[in-house]
Amino acid sequence: MALSGAALLLLATAALFLRYGAEAAASSKVCVVGSGIGGSSVAHFLKHYTCAKSAEVPCMDDIRILERSRRVGGRMATVTIGGDTFEAGASIIHPKNRHALGFARLLNLNTKTEDDSDYDPKSNVSSSSSWFGIWDGSRFVFQTLPPPSSSSSALYRKMYPLLNSLVIFWRYGISLIRMNRFVKEMVEKFLLYYTNLETRPVFETVEEMLKWSGLYGLTRRTLHEELVDAGMSSRLISELVTVITRINYGQDVSISGLAGTVSLAGSDSGLWSVDGGNWQLAAGLIGHTNATLHLHEEIDSISYTGGYYELNSTKGNSYTCEVTVIATPLDELNITFIPPVSVPSRRLQHTFTTFVRGLLNPKYFGLNSASEIPDLVGTLELPDIPFSCVSVLKKYNEEDMTYKMFSRAPLDDSLLDSIFSKRKETIRIDWAAYPHYEAPEVFAPIVLDGAHLYYINSFENAASTIETSAVAAENVARLIISRVSALSSDASIVMPPISAEEVLHTDL
Ligand SMILES: Cc1cc2nc3c(=O)[nH]c(=O)nc-3n(C[C@H](O)[C@H](O)[C@H](O)COP(=O)(O)OP(=O)(O)OC[C@H]3O[C@@H](n4cnc5c(N)ncnc54)[C@H](O)[C@@H]3O)c2cc1C
Ligand SMILES: *[C@@H]1O[C@H](CO)[C@@H](O)[C@H](O)[C@H]1NC(C)=O
Ligand SMILES: *[C@@H]1O[C@H](CO)[C@@H](O)[C@H](O)[C@H]1NC(C)=O
Ligand SMILES: *[C@@H]1O[C@H](CO)[C@@H](O)[C@H](O)[C@H]1NC(C)=O
Ligand SMILES: *[C@@H]1O[C@H](CO)[C@@H](O)[C@H](O)[C@H]1NC(C)=O
């Protein structure tokens, strides 16, 4: 390589300010590849931090988002089956995910918590997340209590959640308390990423970012190693924890510790989602930012030529950009980089999501009636079980339900015909879902070329969620602002102060 990173950066920055403000239509200050939560959040934070009245840097509102799909949202998407719409990708958000919560408030989106759907007296439709069973391929090794029926006493209805907790505690004992404490400690550290801008550094690498919060160590070892050291029983690990990591990341407890702990936090209470679909977070942010959005525009080459980036699409369009942000995993893409960039190879875990309107076959589970099958069936890490989980999304009546299944391989018709006794409609989605987590994790750079090519999804090797994408995007936005302005003036960057009542950082 002829030019050092610093020289490249100087060149890029010089070009940036020469070109700023006087460009033809196809030229932008910032181009973002991908319109998922990462791409939409980086656009939002760039504008939010630079266009406020008190900001001392030029307003960066010239943002172009390129999206290969015909819709925004990426892995936040809905599916419609039997006339009803459900989350097909990212479905639940943790109550302490402050960016997601802030976005929902900023955009006036209605949210619903999991508990809302437990009992809906206005319709016959019910879905209960608390009746779950653990299937080992031939029997349920454990299950919680079935939900109260219409004939149950008021007392039983009231006591049901408590009784269920007791049933779980009876099986897993004190290890459950240790697990909750372990998850809580991780969440506490993660909350550091919301602390104010004066005390929170801008990070140039994922390693630095994780070390600062104290979470890096968890990416070095497997979840299994971490949980054993924290005193959890082998029964808890091989049953409940395994079921949860299989549901959330399609992998077992050999997953790296941070991703595993994040996945355990996904079984906390108070989980929520956006009414009508989480994809509206991305759509809303893009609208709010007033970014220029190109749908059905797949970028296949990114060339760095004389101080700016040229992004070419498969449609033959060409966009020049001063800053380029990659907001999608590069692992299964064929984007040609000129000059080439080096990203450590990473395997993605594919999660096959199968929606079925019909009825599960009780015989498959060795039962007499479908009503004896728990609403959520999780599975152990055993070779012959063809799916990770199956759950009821909606109960129309005792004979007619909509289910969602996750599996590591596609489920063919003959297999589905053995698992279901009735199958009116089936929809299959193959997600390149998240990284295949392996400790110790290796992280791609955030700055891919030493200049102004940024990669948000390098953070996905820590964990993959809506919130972690937003947190990684917020850091990338600050990194862009500080690197663009650092060489443009001697004064160091001053961003607008974040007040306590600021929408993005309001507490619950
Ligand atoms: C089945 C499943 C369940 C999940 N459950 C949850 C959950 O319950 N809670 C949670 O928080 N997270 C969950 N996740 C993870 C969550 O969906 C992701 O971490 C998050 O949505 C990633 O957002 P992103 O913006 O980084 O990437 P993406 O959403 O993947 O966005 C990338 C975008 O880039 C576009 N793109 C790709 N290549 C190009 C190109 N060459 N040119 C132009 N555009 C391109 C893609 O079309 C896509 O729209 C789940 C994921 C899956 C698959
Ligand atoms: C509830 O079920 C009963 C009997 O199956 C039916 O008559 C009624 O219309 C249903 N109500 C709703 C809101 O679906
Ligand atoms: C949004 O962008 C368009 C051009 O892309 C511009 O005409 C319009 O004034 C912008 N609106 C706001 C509110 O900034
Ligand atoms: C991108 O498109 C431009 C304009 O069509 C072309 O000149 C250039 O060679 C293309 N770059 C690549 C890498 O294909
Ligand atoms: C990338 O290119 C290879 C070889 O041309 C092809 O087999 C593969 O399907 C492509 N991958 C994607 C995601 O387009």
Task: Indicate which residue's Cα is closest to atom 7 of ligand 5.
Answer: 334
Residue 288 has φ and ψ, to the nearest 5°, of -65, -35
Strands 84-87 and 272-274: unpaired
pLDDT-derived band at 153 (thresholds 50, 70, 90) equals confident
How do residues 363-395 score in pLDDT, each as one tens digit? Answer: 999 999 999 999 999 999 999 999 999 999 999
HSE-up of residue 259 (Cα within 13 Å, Cβ side) = 32
Residue with tokens 């409609």: 425
Residue with tokens 């607008």: 496
User: At residue 302, does pLDDT exceed 60?
Assistant: yes
Q: Copy the structure tokens of residue 384.
A: 């012959």
Instruction: Compute the distance from residue 292 Cα to the ligand 3 centre, in Å.
Output: 9
Task: Indicate which residue's Cα is closest to atom 10 of ligand 1.
Answer: 465
Spatial distance between the Cα atoms of 330 and 346, rounded to a whole number of angstroms: 9
Closest CA to 505 of 48, 73, 184, 36: 48
Amino acid of residue 6 = A
Burial tier of 407 (Cβ tally within 10 Å: 0-12, 13-18, 19+) = buried
**Backbone CA torsion sign across 256, 262, 266, 272:** negative
Whether 318 is in the pocket of ligand 4, judged by its Cβ within 6 Å, is: yes
Calculate ∠ Cα 349-350-354, nearest 5°.
145
What is residue 156's predicted lDDT score, i.e. its pLDDT? 86
Task: Give Dmax over CA atoms of the chain in angstroms.
Answer: 78
Give the mean model confidence (pLDDT) for residues 279-303.
98
User: At residue 416, does pLDDT exceed 90?
Assistant: yes
pLDDT-derived band at 149 (thresholds 50, 70, 90) equals confident
**Backbone CA torsion sign across 373, 375, 380, 382:** positive
Say if CB 93 and CB 270 are below 8 A apart: no
How do residues 222-266 score in pLDDT, each as one tens digit? Answer: 999 999 999 999 999 999 999 999 999 999 999 999 999 999 998
Whether 196 is in the pocket of ligand 2, judged by its Cβ within 6 Å, is: no
pTM of whole model > 0.85?
A: yes
| Nearest atom of ligand 2 to the alpha carbon of 125 | 14
The region of weakest confidence among 10-19, 22-31, 145-154, 339-348 is: 10-19
Task: Indicate which residue's Cα is closest to atom 9 of ligand 3.
Answer: 290
User: How many other C-beta atoms are found inside a 10 Å radius of the C-beta of residue 254?
Assistant: 15
Say if CB 66 and CB 317 are below 8 A apart: no
Spatial distance between the Cα atoms of 371 and 128, rounded to a whole number of angstroms: 13
Q: Is the peptide bond before 339 cis (omega within 30 degrees of 0)?
A: yes
Top CATH class of 5-74+276-342+445-505 equals alpha beta
Burial tier of 369 (Cβ tally within 10 Å: 0-12, 13-18, 19+) = exposed
Instruction: Compute the distance from residue 365 Cα to the ligand 1 centre, in Å.
Output: 33
Residue with tokens 């080439």: 340
How do residues 122-143 score in pLDDT, each as one tens digit? Answer: 443 444 458 999 999 999 999 9
How do residues 391-400 score in pLDDT, each as one tens digit? Answer: 999 999 999 9
